[in-house]
Chain A
Amino acid sequence: MSYLLTTITFLPMLGVLILLFMNREQGKSMKMVTFVVTLVTFLISLLLLRDFDLATANVQFVEKYSWIPDYGINYFMGIDGLTLLLVLLTTFFTPICVMACWEDIQKMVREFMICLLFLETGMIGVFVSLDVFLFYVFWEVMLIPMYLLIGIWGNPARRIYAAVKFFIFTMFGSVLMLVAILYLYFEYHAATGVYSFNIFDLYTTVLPPSTQLWLFLGFSIAFAIKVPMFPFHTWLPDAHTEAPTVGSVLLAAVLLKMGTYGFLRFSLPLFPNAAIDYGVWIFLTLALIGIIYGAWVCIVQKDLKRLIAFSSVSHLGFVMLGIFAFNATAMEGAILQMINHGLSTGALFLIVGMIYERRHTRMISEFGGLSKVMPAFATIFLIVTLSSIGLPGLNGFVGEFLILVGTFEKYKIFAILGASGVIFAAVYMLWMFQRVMYGEVTNPKNMVLKDLSPREWAVLLPVILFIFWIGVYPTPFLRTTEASVHNLLRQIDKKYTLVVNAEKQGGYYLSKIEKMPPETENR
């Protein structure tokens, strides 16, 4: 058994331990410790990439220990094509975030770094847990550090409101999911006589469509709040706007992906009939509304961060479109787009954070003509903006293209209407860029702004590298997801047919359909 995933997940806790024993005054070295720990975590996580077997859809790097044996609760971790990139995205962004907050965070440095490290553990834990109980624990635990990040280091005016709203919204969704999890768990027990929270065991539960629908909703509302999908998105603009830069970056880059990941891992394969018969129409419609509504709202935003926040609503609408198109091309596109959105929007928040550090405002009207004062900054900002719009040659294009192509095969009207979101994206992003960066410098305060510092270069360059890499040569990224996506769709289809046939025969039964995908041991 390999210990790689446990190491990656809990290495940040080692950082917490070190921080606890450091002197209050050593703010700089605390940041250093956190940076080193998160960087080492990232480097170790690269081993996943080296040893990952692209050919199989099986979960890899499996670790399984008994935790609460009487209830079939295990410490069960593993990754497959759905999660490999998400784990790497998380470990990649955390050290960048530490660098990004180097100057910004001056009060309660120790507490900030501890929250950041806890958050990293929570985020990785969500992606690697294959035991539903364990997943739920990480899913909830992660709320606490994020809540504290927003509430303590956020924007003084409305941080508490935003933090509490974030917490309550997410909590509301997740407790309903808890009830659904428990129901599913006892259904599985009723059918097999075995208690298990193992997700692959639960996949084999075959439920009548009506039950599936309720459980599907129980799970999906939690995930839809996290994504966030229209109309559950209202916490997002507040949380994003009020959070400190690093909070916004991690929210956009990683936390929102937990929602979309939840659909892929739980909602679809557990309840395929509900997902295909009802979910498709509900979620394609909501996704479409999200794409267009998010984009329109962006156009009128005065605050840079709020604009980017709403652009997330729009972009994640695309991801949801790709997931619910039930087609390999679109689903691969959706996973890639999750990564792309993480990179582009994460970078946008980093950039806005940099302007904010200089001017202490995020109002678009305060700026203008910055490209003359900060040429290097302008170039980077332009690249990221274009990547967010989805310019060919940059990462955003690949994901959106695949999603739209895949969706078009099955749901033409959704693809056509959804494509308009790309156009609106160009409208609001370019218009924003124009107002901030071009024209004459009207505000004298903007005359003296400094261009990127070496630290800021270091923060942005790695992201830019991936923006180009995925844009020009996405194949290696897509290949990691291929096997798992095909397998997922196959299994969904198989189970769907099984239930339909069972329904025709007038009875429901639980059949041990081939476990999907079979677990591998000892890699």
Chain B
Amino acid sequence: MNIVIPAINWASIAPELVVFITAMVVLLIGAFFPRVSSGVTAGISLLGVMLSFLVTASLWGSSELAFANMLALDNYRLFFNFIFLICTGLTILASIDYFGKSSEPVEHAEYYALLLFACVGMMFMAAGTDLITIFLGLETMSIAIYILAAFVKKNIKGNEAALKYLLLGAFSTGFLLYGIALIFGATGSSNLATIYKYLSGTSNLSSPMLLFGMGFLIVGFGFKIASVPFHMWTPDVYEGAPTVVTAFMAAGVKAAAFAAFLRVFVYALPSLQPNWIAILWVLAILTMTIGNLAALLQENIKRMLAYSSIAHAGYIMIGMVAAKNAAADIGTYSVLYYLLAYTFMNIGAFIIVVLYGRYAEDNLNISDYAGMGYKYPVLGATMAIFMFSLAGIPPTAGFVGKFYIFAAAVKGGFIDLAIIGVINSVLSVYYYLRVTVMIYMREPVADQPGLKFSRSATLATTIAAVATLVLGIFPDTFITMARQSVSLILG
């Protein structure tokens, strides 16, 4: 057999390469210079992230396929690259603070390297135009995250979380892989473009193999985006994992899973749209409603944010349902915009949780936030911004994001989804307000020794808060970027 190695355009994976090489360097530094301080490894990682960010920015506007049509170099991928890099960068900044507070020494080089590997995985998920590349990206990301969830070795909750995540994750990966296999069986290819061409040329769209394949893909992706009924792992894992890792998972993993989910379904399976819209319509409603209802009852802020992230997945799915085949449609890019907005406000909220602890995993009950606004006015105000943004109140990023999602729903003719969505966001206001009630309207319970704010985490929150407001007040640039990201299809 004659194996032809296709011409490889290394430049097309430059952003990934930069992050990957940085990860290797960090890992090697950890191996050969075990005494090097965590500041150095974090610094190098940050530099790598920033460099990759610049490379991504310089590639903006390109539109080509690479690696034998297995990867796309398009704005869609680059937009998501921005999200992942922002996620990783903010998480690294917060991690410096988090591990500074941790009593247990951590292998910081491995930690940052894993974070970067996860980031590479995410970037490949957004880049993949072949189910195989998407799967590889997903596995790269997932394995790194399984380890990260249990990174604080002696934390029993963290270990439980990681094991749960690993077992359920492996199970869901099985579904995804089986789905890919069935789709391959039905269409004869794993390449998104070929699948699209095959499906638009055939009239046999109701073959069980194809439909089961599609269903299994929904299960697989549904698990990663934490959609009901595949969300059971979310609260436990989010609560048990180190807060910084939770932040990374809640924003990054979700965005990556949506990146692949959206590309596969909107670009490769539009012919099956009536089928998957019907399923996602139900899932979106369930996800929003159950996420919000459960969040109402939470006492632990990490669990509350976990359920809130489930609810947000529901809102984003509205955008997906509304994404009619026209790729440039508002539904598709409302999802992109929402994920960008969500990244800032959600990571921001988690970083505040990190900052508000005297040691790692401290002050996790919502009642611990009593009087925060009196003792730490700036910290309190920033948390309030994130809460109002998550609740979708102007002038924040969360409002504009929801606005576009609901606009997409109305435009697509899904008034019912829009109404259920807005009622859900009223429901969510209640538990986000509870945090602000604690911050501003309750007296501090006990006198706690003062907190020390590290510069890195302060910087990270500032970036997140400013971005939340800028995206809310001047959304034009970002919306235009999101629109450009979906206007060019390579599939």
| CB–CB B395/A176 < 8 A | no
List, sorted by A's number, 6 A–B pairs whose CB atoms are closer than 8 Å: A178-B403, A182-B406, A182-B407, A182-B410, A186-B410, A186-B411
| CB–CB A108/B374 < 8 A | yes
A151 within 8 A of B: yes
| CB–CB A163/B423 < 8 A | no
- Chain A residues lying within 8 Å of B433, measured Cβ to Cβ, are 147, 164, 167-168
Q: Are A168 and B437 also in contact (CB < 8 A) when A140-B394, A186-B410 are?
A: no
| CB–CB B415/A144 < 8 A | no
| CB–CB A137/B406 < 8 A | no
| CB–CB B441/A163 < 8 A | yes
Q: Which residues of B contact A (CB under 8 A)?
A: 373-374, 377, 388, 393-395, 399, 403, 406-407, 410-411, 415, 418-419, 422-423, 425-426, 429-430, 433, 437, 440-441, 475-476, 479-480, 483
| CB–CB A171/B440 < 8 A | no
Q: Which of B406, B415, B437 contacts A164 (CB 8 A)?
A: B437
Distance to closest chain B CB from A174 (angstroms): 9
A172 within 8 A of B: yes
Additional A-B contact list (15), CB under 8 Å, known A137-B399, A176-B419: A68-B479, A70-B480, A137-B394, A141-B395, A164-B433, A168-B429, A171-B393, A171-B426, A175-B422, A175-B423, A175-B425, A176-B422, A179-B406, A182-B411, A182-B418
Distance to closest chain A CB from B338 (angstroms): 16
- Chain A residues lying within 8 Å of B441, measured Cβ to Cβ, are 151-152, 159-160, 163
Q: Are A70 and B423 also in contact (CB < 8 A) when A152-B441, A164-B437 are?
A: no
Q: Are A70 and B483 also in contact (CB < 8 A) when A140-B399, A164-B430, A164-B437 are?
A: yes
Question: Counting chain B CB atoms within 10 Å of each CB, which of A136, A178, A186 scores highest?
Answer: A178
| CB–CB B429/A171 < 8 A | yes
| CB–CB B429/A152 < 8 A | no
Report the separation of the CA atoms of residues A171 and B426 in the bound assembly, to the nearest whole angstrom: 6
- Chain B residues lying within 8 Å of A136, measured Cβ to Cβ, are 394
Q: Which of A137, A143, A183 contacts B410 (CB 8 A)?
A: A183
Distance to closest chain A CB from B256 (angstroms): 27
Distance to closest chain A CB from B312 (angstroms): 16
| CB–CB A140/B393 < 8 A | yes
- Chain A residues lying within 8 Å of B393, measured Cβ to Cβ, are 140-141, 143-144, 171
Report the separation of the CA atoms of residues A182 and B410 in the bound assembly, to the nearest whole angstrom: 7
Report the separation of the CA atoms of residues A158 and B26 in the bound assembly, to the nearest whole angstrom: 55
Distance to closest chain B CB from A48 (angstroms): 25
A444 within 8 A of B: no
Report the separation of the CA atoms of residues A177 and B374 in the bound assembly, to the nearest whole angstrom: 35
| CB–CB B403/A70 < 8 A | no
Q: Are A183 and B394 also in contact (CB < 8 A) when A168-B429, A172-B426, A178-B422 are?
A: no
A148 within 8 A of B: yes
| CB–CB A167/B437 < 8 A | no
Report the separation of the CA atoms of residues A140 and B430 in the bound assembly, to the nearest whole angstrom: 15
Hey, what's the 0/1 contact readout for A100-138 against B, CB within 8 Å counting as 1?
000000001001000000000000000000000000110
A67 within 8 A of B: yes
- Chain B residues lying within 8 Å of A179, measured Cβ to Cβ, are 406, 410, 415, 418-419, 422
A69 within 8 A of B: yes
| CB–CB A151/B437 < 8 A | yes
Q: Which of B373, B411, B426 contacts A168 (CB 8 A)?
A: B426
| CB–CB B410/A160 < 8 A | no
Interface of A is mostly: helix
| CB–CB B479/A152 < 8 A | no
- Chain A residues lying within 8 Å of B440, measured Cβ to Cβ, are 148, 151-152
Report the separation of the CA atoms of residues A159 and B407 in the bound assembly, to the nearest whole angstrom: 35
Distance to closest chain A CB from B335 (angstroms): 17
Q: Are A160 and B429 also in contact (CB < 8 A) when A70-B480, A143-B393, A183-B410 are?
A: no
Nearest A residue to B404, CB-CB: A71
Report the separation of the CA atoms of residues A164 and B423 in the bound assembly, to the nearest whole angstrom: 16
Distance to closest chain A CB from B416 (angstroms): 10
- Chain B residues lying within 8 Å of A168, measured Cβ to Cβ, are 426, 429-430, 433
Report the separation of the CA atoms of residues A141 and B395 in the bound assembly, to the nearest whole angstrom: 7
Distance to closest chain B CB from A135 (angstroms): 11
Nearest A residue to B419, CB-CB: A179
- Chain A residues lying within 8 Å of B373, measured Cβ to Cβ, are 111
Which chain A residues in 152-199 approach chain B with CB under 8 Å? 152, 159-160, 163-164, 167-168, 171-172, 175-176, 178-179, 182-183, 185-186
Nearest B residue to A133, CB-CB: B403
Hey, what's the 0/1 contact readout for A237-258 against B, CB within 8 Å counting as 1?
0000000000000000000000
Hey, what's the 0/1 contact readout for A419-430 against B, CB within 8 Å counting as 1?
000000000000
| CB–CB A69/B476 < 8 A | yes
Nearest A residue to B377, CB-CB: A111
Nearest B residue to A172, CB-CB: B426
Distance to closest chain A CB from B45 (angstroms): 34
Report the separation of the CA atoms of residues A144 and B436 in the bound assembly, to the nearest whole angstrom: 11
- Chain B residues lying within 8 Å of A69, measured Cβ to Cβ, are 476
Distance to closest chain A CB from B375 (angstroms): 12
Distance to closest chain A CB from B473 (angstroms): 9
- Chain A residues lying within 8 Å of B480, measured Cβ to Cβ, are 70
- Chain B residues lying within 8 Å of A68, measured Cβ to Cβ, are 475-476, 479
Report the separation of the CA atoms of residues A141 and B480 in the bound assembly, to the nearest whole angstrom: 25
- Chain A residues lying within 8 Å of B475, measured Cβ to Cβ, are 68
Distance to closest chain A CB from B36 (angstroms): 41
- Chain B residues lying within 8 Å of A175, measured Cβ to Cβ, are 422-423, 425-426
Report the separation of the CA atoms of residues A160 and B407 in the bound assembly, to the nearest whole angstrom: 33
Report the separation of the CA atoms of residues A277 and B37 in the bound assembly, to the nearest whole angstrom: 75
Report the separation of the CA atoms of residues A172 and B441 in the bound assembly, to the nearest whole angstrom: 23
| CB–CB A160/B399 < 8 A | no
Which chain A residues in 200-259 approach chain B with CB under 8 Å? none
Which chain A residues in 246-299 approach chain B with CB under 8 Å? none
Distance to closest chain B CB from A313 (angstroms): 23
| CB–CB B406/A178 < 8 A | yes
Distance to closest chain A CB from B483 (angstroms): 7
9 A-B pairs with the lowest CB-CB distances in the bound complex, closest first: A175-B422, A182-B410, A137-B394, A151-B441, A68-B476, A172-B426, A179-B418, A140-B394, A186-B411
- Chain A residues lying within 8 Å of B425, measured Cβ to Cβ, are 175
Report the separation of the CA atoms of residues A143 and B373 in the bound assembly, to the nearest whole angstrom: 19
Nearest A residue to B413, CB-CB: A186
Nearest A residue to B429, CB-CB: A171
Report the separation of the CA atoms of residues A176 and B410 in the bound assembly, to the nearest whole angstrom: 12
Report the separation of the CA atoms of residues A148 and B388 in the bound assembly, to the nearest whole angstrom: 12
Distance to closest chain B CB from A64 (angstroms): 16
Report the separation of the CA atoms of residues A70 and B480 in the bound assembly, to the nearest whole angstrom: 8
Report the separation of the CA atoms of residues A151 and B441 in the bound assembly, to the nearest whole angstrom: 6
Report the separation of the CA atoms of residues A163 and B433 in the bound assembly, to the nearest whole angstrom: 10
Nearest B residue to A69, CB-CB: B476
- Chain B residues lying within 8 Å of A159, measured Cβ to Cβ, are 441
Report the separation of the CA atoms of residues A108 and B399 in the bound assembly, to the nearest whole angstrom: 28
- Chain B residues lying within 8 Å of A140, measured Cβ to Cβ, are 393-394, 399
Report the separation of the CA atoms of residues A68 and B394 in the bound assembly, to the nearest whole angstrom: 15
- Chain A residues lying within 8 Å of B407, measured Cβ to Cβ, are 182, 185-186
Report the separation of the CA atoms of residues A175 and B426 in the bound assembly, to the nearest whole angstrom: 8
- Chain A residues lying within 8 Å of B415, measured Cβ to Cβ, are 179, 183
Nearest A residue to B381, CB-CB: A111
Report the separation of the CA atoms of residues A339 and B399 in the bound assembly, to the nearest whole angstrom: 32
Q: Are A167 and B410 also in contact (CB < 8 A) when A68-B479, A70-B483, A148-B440 are?
A: no
- Chain A residues lying within 8 Å of B423, measured Cβ to Cβ, are 172, 175
Report the separation of the CA atoms of residues A379 and B303 in the bound assembly, to the nearest whole angstrom: 58
Distance to closest chain B CB from A404 (angstroms): 37
Distance to closest chain A CB from B393 (angstroms): 6
Distance to closest chain A CB from B471 (angstroms): 12
- Chain A residues lying within 8 Å of B429, measured Cβ to Cβ, are 167-168, 171
